[in-house]
Structures are given as structure tokens and as C-alpha cells.
Structure 1
Amino acid sequence: MKKRVFTILAIAAFGLTSVTAQKTIRLGYIDMEYILENVPEYQEASRQLDNRVQEWKVEAEARLRKVEDMKTRLDNERALLTKELIEERESEIAYMEQQAMEYQQNRFGPNGDYMIQKKQLVRPIQDQVFTAVQQIAETRNLDFVFDRTADIGMIYADKQYDVSESVLRTIKRTANREQLETKDEIKELEKAEDRTVEQDAEITKREELVEQRKSEREEFIEAKKRERDSLKAARQKEFEERRAKILAERERKRDSILKAREKKNDTIN
């Protein structure tokens, strides 16, 4: 797996090198910490956050001290207490200790208030920085801009150097190659590998158009079928109604004849 990833990265690097052989890459960098230190709005909001952090620390320390005091008192009084009272006090101490730990986690944990508010504090300035960096990079024809204070330093890159699509295609081709069995399949894959991203996009576009037309044709056939079924149902209903009407008329005539005969017989008798 590591060998495969290395191969993919090497291919991506080769592609980038080919591009840079024709053009000198222009780099720039920023110091985000320096920028933040010189933005008054950020400094004021940071001071307010620091004040809240101090309050949280005081509260957290007070809760822990309270737990320690409870433990000390229990140790001093343990000899004078019954087993039931000792268990009750230990249970209370465990609960208070758990509450103190949860408070610390909620305030200073990875998803705590401090991290959330710190991100909220920095985000508006970062948005401004990114917008400014993009404008400056385009004006000065910079290809890449890095933040030297960040773990992942690149914050701007010219799209012409984006080889993500090529890397993705290489991964897919490698996976496809491992599944091939016949020479014809391998030959077809090699033809596909010779195509550029633009050619692949054009083929995909044509395939999507064919699929769309196929879907439209199927919908048209289905609509015609529904129309035929509807006409057939209407004709069947009309036939049933006409048949019922004829049968009813026959029944009426038969009843009329029977009544006439009964009347005639009554007259003779």
C-alpha cells in the first residue's frame, strides 16, 4: 500500500515538474501570527477570551480544591463514622469529582468552549486574510502562498498546478488494472490511460448525453404505455356499461312479457 501511494505521489510530482520546467514558480508566504497580533479587533476579542479563560480556570481549581477538602475531612473523621455514612460521603465525593472533571472537559477539552470560541475568534480574520492573499497572488502572479506558522502551510495555489484529478485517475487505473484478466481488457485500459483529463471529460459528457437520451426514450415509451392502458381501460369501461345497459333492457322486456301473460291468464280465468 505504501509503495502504491509513493508511486502515485511520484507521478503527481513528475507532472508538476513538467509544468515548472516551462515556467519559473513564484512563491510567497505570510506570518499569520504577526498579522493577528496587529489586527486591533482580534487583539481586543482575544483579551476578552483570555479573561473568560481565567475565570474558567479559577472555577475549575475551586471545584478540585473542594473535592480535596472533602477527601481530607473524610480521612480525618473516618474512625468516627459508621460504614453507611462513609459510603454516603464517598459517593458524594465521587459525584463532585466527576462534576469537576466534566467542567474541565467542557471548558478546555478538544471540543470545549475555549477551542470553539478560539476558532470563532480567528475565523473572520482568516477569511479576510485568504481574500487578501488571493488578490495579492493574482496581482503579483504568485503561484503558491504559504503560512509559515501553520502545520499545513499552503493557503493559496494556482489551479494550473492542481494534479488532484490526475492522482485520482491514477488510483482508479491502478485499481482497475488489478482486476483485469484478458489481453483485450488490458488493451482497452491502456487506451483509456493514454487519454487526457479533457478527453475523459468529453467522453463522460457524451456518455451522460447518451444515458439522458436513453432515459428520455424510456420515459416516452412508458408514457405511451400508460396512455394505451388508459384508452384500453376506458374502452373496457364503455363496453361494460353498454353490455350492462343491453342486459338491463332485455330484463325489462322479459319482465314486461311475463306480466302481460299473467294479466291475460287472469282475464281468461
Structure 2
Amino acid sequence: MKKQFLSVFLALITYSGVNAQAKGTKLGFIDMEYILENVSDYTEAKNQLDQKANKWKLEIETKKIEINKLKEALKAEKVLLTKELIEERETEIAFLENQNLEYQLKRFGPNGDLMIQKSTLVKPIQDQVFTAVQDIAERLKYDFIFDKSSDLTMLFAAKRFDISEQVLRVLNRTEKREQLTKKQQKEAEIKESKEDALDDNPDLAERKKLIEEKKTAREQILEERKLLQEQKKQEFEDKRKQIQAEREAKKAGTVSANIKEDNAVTTPKNVETKKESLEESKQKENDARLKILEDRKKVIEDRKKELDEKRKKTIEEREALKKAKEEKTKENTNNN
């Protein structure tokens, strides 16, 4: 399928090249992965889906640990068990492994929950993207628009043909319009018409983009200078207060230890507070991780206890049955 698609694409390009003199062919492409990553609804839903997937993975790993424990226990006790008990425990381990494999396929298989929920998550946004691409293609007279992240292998693509930002802009417009008043909608339409005009003239759009980037860089430099000036001003003010306090203390004949201490530790105190906050955050993460490990350990211990009780009960039943048979045999012998 991929080869067929590539063949069709190459045929179209060849046909376009032959007819380029009669009509200028206009190509464009989008990056679906980039668009999806910049749609807020998709990223939020994807984060929730990732959390579910991590939870499923943890369940699978926990079951694997339990099964490995049972295997190790069987290996250690094999010489002490009867053939029937060994076969019983091997059957139980095989059953647990098949059960875990079925659960893994149910969650992560080709038709599993993860694939189904991903498809449900992506499809509505893909439909919006396709609609936006069609509108842009009709308005700007594109002949072909391809998806860079699809099966089509693009060996090279000039950035000026990338219309992903235009598609994102259309999606954001649709979302914002629902929350605007009539006056705000008119203002938005004027702004949109200007943006569309820039789309019609890529060179003008590129120049405007460079101007915006320079403006942003200049504002950032000014902001950094302003912060530096305020920092120096604050340091100078703190130093001035410290010198004034020392002079007053010297005039009084005593050195105010409290004043020196307060002035000296103003900044380190803030640093210490931030450090404590960071340590508290790390401690919370460690506590959460330890809790997960403790819960996992408890599950394994409970399962092991349950299996031990079951094995003990089976041995007792067999011993009782064996004893009953021996008594019956003895009784029959005595009667004879």
C-alpha cells in the first residue's frame, strides 16, 4: 500500500512538472503530529490516556513478579514435593501466565483498549484538520497537500510549503469564536483577514515573522536589563541600610547583632526557604514511590500466603485420604 501510494505521488509530481509551464503547480504539506501536540484538548486527553497505560503496565509487571516468585518457590521446593503436587503447581503457574498474557493483549494488543481509545481521541481532531486543510487549499489555490507524518516518505520539504501553523490557526479560530461576543467576532474577523492576506503573500509573512522575532528578542533583552537594574538597586539599598545601622550602633557604643544578622541573611533565608520547599517536594515523590512499592509487596505477600494455605490444605486432605485408605485396607485384612 505504501509503495502504491508513493508511485501515485511520484506520477503526480512528474505530471505536474510536465505541465508546470502551462500552469504553476502549488504544493503544500502539514505535520499532523505537530498539530496534535499543539491542540490543548488532545494533549489533556493524551495525558489521561498515558496515565491509564502506565497503570495497566504496573498491573502487568506486578503479576509477572508474582509468577516469578511462584516459579522460584517451586524450584526451591521441587525435591520435597510429590509428582502430583509439582504438576498441580506447574499448571497453576501456566494458568497465571496465560491469564496475564490475555490481559496484556486486551490492554495493548492491536485491537486493545489503548488503540481503541487512541483512535477515539484522534479522529475528531483529524476531521477538523482535514476540513481546515480543504478550506486553506481552496482559498489559496493549492494543487496538492500532503501529511509529512504519514506513510509518504518526504526526503526534503522546504519550510515555506509547511501550512501546519495555518491549520492550527483555523482550529484555534473555531474554538475561540464560540466564546466571543458579536463585537469581538468582528474584530477577530478583521484580524483573520490580515492573517489570511499574509498567507497569500509568503514573502511578506516571512518578513513579518522576522520582525516579530527581533521585537521579541529586543523586549527580552530590555526585560533582563530591567531585572538586573532592580537587583543592583536592591543590593545597594540593603548595603546602605546595613552601613547606616552599623554607624548608629557604633554611636550608641554597642553593635546590634540582631540588625547585622537580619541584614546579612535576607537573601540566604529566601534561598533556604526554596531549598526546603524543593526537599519537601522530593520527599513527597519518594513517599509516593515507597507507597506503590509497599502496596505491590503486600499484594505479593497476600498471594503467597493464599497459595501456601491452599497447598497446606491440599496436603492435609491427601494425608487424610491416604490415612483413610490405610485404615480401610487394615480393616479388610483383619476381617479376612
Q: TM-score, normalised by structure 1?
A: 0.50
* 2:66 is aligned with 1:35: no
Name the Cα RMSD after superposition: 2.5
The superposition leaves residues 4-42 of structure 1 with CA deviations (integer Å, 9 ceiling, x where unpaired) of xxx999987765555445212101111212211111110
| Structure 2 SS opposite 1:145 | strand
2:64 matched residue in structure 1? 64
The superposition leaves residues 221-258 of structure 1 with CA deviations (integer Å, 9 ceiling, x where unpaired) of xxxxxxxxxxxxxxxxxxxxxxxxxxxxxxxxxxxxxx
Letter aligned with residue 83 of structure 1: K
Tell me how far apart the structure 2 counterparts of residues 10 and 30 of structure 1 sit (CA, whole Å).
18
Tell me how far apart the structure 2 counterparts of residues 29 and 55 of structure 1 sit (CA, whole Å).
37
Deviation at 1:105, TM superposition (A): 1.4
Letter aligned with residue 54 of structure 2: Q
2:136 matched residue in structure 1? 136
Letter aligned with residue 101 of structure 1: L
Could you tell me which runs of 5 or more consecutive residues in structure 1 were left unpaired when the two chains were aligned.
1-6, 155-269
Deviation at 1:153, TM superposition (A): 7.1
Tell me how far apart the structure 2 counterparts of residues 143 and 110 of structure 1 sit (CA, whole Å).
35
Provide closer, same or farther for how the CA distance between residues 9 and 149 of structure 1 changes in structure 2, counting only shifts above 3 A. closer
1:92 matched residue in structure 2? 92
Provide closer, same or farther for how the CA distance between residues 100 and 141 of structure 1 changes in structure 2, counting only shifts above 3 A. same
Provide closer, same or farther for how the CA distance between residues 125 and 60 of structure 1 changes in structure 2, counting only shifts above 3 A. same
| Structure 2 SS opposite 1:66 | helix
Tell me how far apart the structure 2 counterparts of residues 145 and 113 of structure 1 sit (CA, whole Å).
32
Count residues with an aligned counterpart: 148
Tell me how far apart the structure 2 counterparts of residues 141 and 13 of structure 1 sit (CA, whole Å).
17
* 2:75 is aligned with 1:75: yes
Tell me how far apart the structure 1 counterparts of residues 10 and 75 of structure 2 sit (CA, whole Å).
66
Deviation at 1:115, TM superposition (A): 1.3
Deviation at 1:50, TM superposition (A): 0.6
Tell me how far apart the structure 2 counterparts of residues 150 and 128 of structure 1 sit (CA, whole Å).
17
Deviation at 1:152, TM superposition (A): 3.4
Tell me how far apart the structure 2 counterparts of residues 147 and 67 of structure 1 sit (CA, whole Å).
45
2:118 matched residue in structure 1? 118
Alignment of structure 1 residues 163-178 onto 2, 5 Å: none
Tell me how far apart the structure 2 counterparts of residues 18 and 122 of structure 1 sit (CA, whole Å).
38
The superposition leaves residues 175-216 of structure 1 with CA deviations (integer Å, 9 ceiling, x where unpaired) of xxxxxxxxxxxxxxxxxxxxxxxxxxxxxxxxxxxxxxxxxx
Letter aligned with residue 102 of structure 1: E
2:315 matched residue in structure 1? none
Tell me how far apart the structure 1 counterparts of residues 41 and 136 of structure 2 sit (CA, whole Å).
22
The superposition leaves residues 86-121 of structure 1 with CA deviations (integer Å, 9 ceiling, x where unpaired) of 000000100100111111111112221111111111
Tell me how far apart the structure 2 counterparts of residues 74 and 129 of structure 1 sit (CA, whole Å).
57
Provide closer, same or farther for how the CA distance between residues 10 and 27 of structure 1 changes in structure 2, counting only shifts above 3 A. closer
Tell me how far apart the structure 2 counterparts of residues 102 and 81 of structure 1 sit (CA, whole Å).
30
Tell me how far apart the structure 1 counterparts of residues 66 and 134 of structure 2 sit (CA, whole Å).
53
Alignment of structure 1 residues 98-247 onto 2, 5 Å: 98-152=98-152
| Structure 2 SS opposite 1:120 | helix
1:25 matched residue in structure 2? 25
1:45 matched residue in structure 2? 45
Tell me how far apart the structure 2 counterparts of residues 76 and 143 of structure 1 sit (CA, whole Å).
71
Tell me how far apart the structure 1 counterparts of residues 12 and 125 of structure 2 sit (CA, whole Å).
33
Would the aligned equivalents of 1:45 and 1:121 in 2 still touch at CA under 8 Å? yes
Tell me how far apart the structure 1 counterparts of residues 39 and 9 of structure 2 sit (CA, whole Å).
39
Letter aligned with residue 68 of structure 1: N
Would the aligned equivalents of 2:16 and 2:25 in 1 still touch at CA under 8 Å? no
- Which structure: larger Rg? 1
Would the aligned equivalents of 1:147 and 1:153 in 2 still touch at CA under 8 Å? no
Provide closer, same or farther for how the CA distance between residues 124 and 109 of structure 1 changes in structure 2, counting only shifts above 3 A. same
The superposition leaves residues 156-175 of structure 1 with CA deviations (integer Å, 9 ceiling, x where unpaired) of xxxxxxxxxxxxxxxxxxxx
Tell me how far apart the structure 2 counterparts of residues 136 and 34 of structure 1 sit (CA, whole Å).
18
Tell me how far apart the structure 1 counterparts of residues 12 and 149 of structure 2 sit (CA, whole Å).
26
